[in-house]
């Protein structure tokens, strides 16, 4: 009897924790990443990742589930108070009457499912806290999505662990928020500008990209940084309206992008950008796109692939334009609402 009990105890002790991972040999798709610190890797980031569909306010052609399938691992999201009389946080673009892709929880469920099915992947989320929402409400959305268990807290100023260590810990989602962070109540929703600075985001000239510090004004160094590489067209109506440029995305996301990130790398003393934020991530030309450019920064090989479903869901290839008449139909001139925001 005593021997049987001893054997049972040994068996129980030998069962690994549900969060414990074996040492990975592939991390975010590359063996080369496993022994590198998170802070020394460059990632493709989708600007306004949730803003997709068939209205002029979109910044992407495909939803987050498709982006995950295609290799996107960094998502820029905007949190808004619900206009539906609930406590939910909505993913909206400038105004929820313009573009609302539903609750944060519903979108985060897609990321939870992805992590469950892909144990060697690390995801990063940046929040623009548009309505200055309390972090505890974000935590509620994460809880509903089952994502909280995956969230990592990284002490400010501490060296980032390797990708393999992050994966082994089970806490594979890194979250930043631009305002109202409270590390005492939600420590894993970390104040972005204590970890990351950004280059300017109000860009309208493909020949005038900047590699200067835009936010915050005096970042701690060394720190990670984000290059914002997406264009707006300025349309004059009752007010100036900034409209994304899908018609130029193919060229913007190819050699033009490569020149921008290489210039920033040189200016910032050889430090590659950690996050390369783009619109219309699936677009590129001449076998150059955001994924090939970022692979070059990381000094790893790139395998060409077809992104999305291989077509532009708005029709007309990559030449679909948001015309002034399109905007008037949507009532945007009379509303005086800017289409683009961060």
Which stretches within 94-238 are classed as H helix? 104-117, 135-145, 163-169
Contacts of the segment 322-325: beta carbons below 8 A, 24+ positions apart:
322/56, 322/233, 322/243, 322/244, 322/246, 324/235, 324/237
Q: pLDDT digit of tens for each residue in the chain (342 aa)? A: 444 444 444 443 433 333 556 899 999 999 999 999 999 999 999 999 999 976 677 899 999 999 999 999 999 999 999 988 899 999 998 788 888 899 999 999 999 999 999 999 999 999 999 999 999 999 999 999 999 999 999 999 999 999 999 999 999 999 999 999 999 999 999 999 999 999 999 888 999 999 999 999 888 878 999 999 999 876 655 455 567 888 899 999 999 999 999 999 999 999 999 999 999 999 999 999 999 999 999 999 999 999 997 776 555 443 333 333 333 333 333 333 344 444
Rounded distance between C-alpha atoms, residue 317 and residue 314, angstroms: 8
Helix/strand/coil for 154: coil
Instruction: Kindly list the distances between the CA atom of residue 225 and the CA atoms of 56, 114, 200, 261, 268, in Å, as whole numbers in the listed order.
Output: 29, 26, 11, 11, 10
Give the tokens for residue 256: 């033009």
Give the tokens for residue 116: 């469950």
Dihedral angle, C-alpha 264, 268, 273, 276, nearest 10 °: -30
Q: What is the 3-state secondary structure (H, E, C) of 217-278?
A: CCCCCCCEEEEEECCEEEEECCCEEEEECHHHHHHHCCHHHHHHHHHHHHHCCCCCCCEEEE
3-state helix, strand, coil in the chain (%, to 5): 30, 20, 50
Rounded distance between C-alpha atoms, residue 280 and residue 70, angstroms: 12
23-60 pLDDT, tens digit each: 999 999 999 999 999 999 999 999 999 999 766 778 99
With a CB cutoff of 8 Å and minimum separation 6, the contacts of 59 are 46, 47, 48, 49, 51, 52, 93, 230, 244, 279, 280, 340
Which residues in the chain belong to E strands, given as ranges?
43-46, 74-81, 89-93, 95-103, 123-128, 173-177, 189-191, 196-198, 224-229, 232-236, 240-244, 275-278, 284-285, 288-289
Contact status, residue 91 vs residue 334, Cβ threshold 8 Å: no
Contacts of the segment 85-91: beta carbons below 8 A, 24+ positions apart:
87/137, 87/140, 88/141, 89/133, 89/137, 89/138, 89/141, 91/50, 91/51
pTM as predicted: 0.86
């Amino acid at each position: 009897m005593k021997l049987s009990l001893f054997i049972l105890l040994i068996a129980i002790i030998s069962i690994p924790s549900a969060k414990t991972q074996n040492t990975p040999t592939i991390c975010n798709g590359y063996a080369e990443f496993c022994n590198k610190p998170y802070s020394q890797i460059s990632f493709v980031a989708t600007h306004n990742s949730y803003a997709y569909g068939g209205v002029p306010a979109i910044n992407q052609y495909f939803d987050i589930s498709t982006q995950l399938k295609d290799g996107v691992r960094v998502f820029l999201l905007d949190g808004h108070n619900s206009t539906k009389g609930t406590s939910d946080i909505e993913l909206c673009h400038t105004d929820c009457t313009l573009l609302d892709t539903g609750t944060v929880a519903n979108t985060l469920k897609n990321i939870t499912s992805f992590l469950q099915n892909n144990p060697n992947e690390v995801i990063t989320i940046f929040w623009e806290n548009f309505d200055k929402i309390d972090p505890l409400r974000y935590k509620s959305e994460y809880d509903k999505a089952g994502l909280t268990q995956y969230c990592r807290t990284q002490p400010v100023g501490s060296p980032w662990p390797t990708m393999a260590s992050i994966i082994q810990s089970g806490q594979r989602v890194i979250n930043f928020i631009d305002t109202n962070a409270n590390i005492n109540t939600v420590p894993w929703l970390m104040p972005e500008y204590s970890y990351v600075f950004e280059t300017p985001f109000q860009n309208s000239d493909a020949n005038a990209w900047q590699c200067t510090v835009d936010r915050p004004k005096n970042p701690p160094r060394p720190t990670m940084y984000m290059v914002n590489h997406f264009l707006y067209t300025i349309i004059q109506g009752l007010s100036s309206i900034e409209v994304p440029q899908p018609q130029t995305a193919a060229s913007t996301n190819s050699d033009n992008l490569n020149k921008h990130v290489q210039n920033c790398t040189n200016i910032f003393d050889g430090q590659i950008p950690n996050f390369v934020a783009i619109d219309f991530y699936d677009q590129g030309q001449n076998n150059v796109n955001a994924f090939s450019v970022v692979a070059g920064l990381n000094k790893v090989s790139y395998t060409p692939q077809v992104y999305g479903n291989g077509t532009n869901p708005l029709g007309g290839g990559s030449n679909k334009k948001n015309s002034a008449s399109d905007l008037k139909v949507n009532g945007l001139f009379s509303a005086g609402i800017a289409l683009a925001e961060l």
